Structure 1
């Protein structure tokens, strides 16, 4: 199958070329993202492979379908950047990678917690400058703290188990499914408001839907403990960033760790070190000493990249050979 591969990075080429056995698929790599301005590049292809910040809206889908695209292969789990109705109306199938090493994201969320808490990033920079002072680097014991987990799918479940291993009391909220396995291990499911008011640390692991968009806002932040630690490794739009800034200024939010950001499409996966960042919200967030931002790094492990490449290529093969699409997204 002829595949137009968008938003290409060096690691994409490495892993997809490695697992594209016998060059079963003819992949052309484009560094540009897919959107209505670049959709013309899909002429002569049968499939596109896209990532989280490609914009597959109605106009883009119309262009690529006219160009002969029959399937959109997402090399990620989320699909909020795709107009599902437009794809269905054009008979364009959509497949994704529903789960790839959930431990990678769960472990990254844990890394954000530990870094923010024990300030290892600050200690590292001090020592490199010959400053061995530990003033103002005080942390807290994670053991014994109450950790609230919003969303207990594969990633959320993995995170719950890690926190239990640290000796935390783990509360969970999931409006779709409550895991008997997690309950048997000691996780307590609560209503959202109860979780917000009782947790010392809150970590987001739910998908972005109309119901969860800005689930963290001025109202929900007001219910949290003073000095709460808030972690988001799921989707940026789960948090209203401007409300989070107000929470940081007031001290209600004591720590904020985010691997995702609502307007990340114009920022993440690019080197902007020599540019003036035009996004005032993220610039303000970066200025806080108790905020840690990583650029959508949570998935980035060898194991996850192998799974992403393997599952995506299998999805394309299943489509090409008329087999059941196990990972198809249906509107």
Structure 2
């Protein structure tokens, strides 16, 4: 028998009419995609899952089809591998039924209650739409995967991402006022209003947005091949008067995956730099951005090796 969600979750679902769709774009996915999908299935706030097969081995594609055949709440679509990651994510949203959309990378395993905490963030901080929420990503050893950026998003933010440089230190204003309540099983749950912090960007590997807001922002920019589309969406949400919010109690574990090709990363960061350019110097840099980022990414990986961080 399926476990009944705790009382506070059932009350919130009834009050908000909540329906969350998880969109998982799987490209070169490993066996860990099974853990990812099962963690999403186990979340009571997720009503349906859309998996986008964006180019995987025959074994993985076959496993995804078999899982779909056993579940009425899971839909599998196929997108040409030549299309961009942003294109695949947008097609996934078109098939989703939920009021909220949770973007989840196939190497991320949700921890219990993560989706409920993200869904509660927007109302808790009384932010105006559009709002985007993200949580804390950790590796298998409990280390922060640097999936959040504080400060302001500018052309130079892309340079910091390319060189794996941390952004400004994030200040959690509500940390001293942290409260806790207990669910039906006595487990402490952090109060979302005291925990949520406004940031510049959260990772598309673990990101929630109201579907109407996503559509109003015209979704992800499909010209981004792989990297940078999530940064760009966060930038546009803020420019439209909305907020990007981080909730450290909404957590997921991200397994290390083989890195994508540097050319694709350079292309995405260059496009973000160009889209963000406002000053004369930023626009000048934008004209040489792609070859410049190709060199920066190559130097980063050649000198220090590719660090174990997420696709942020």
TM-score normalized by structure 1? Answer: 0.27
Bigger Rg, which one = 1
TM-score normalized by structure 2? Answer: 0.28
Higher relative contact order (CA 8 A, sep 6+): 2
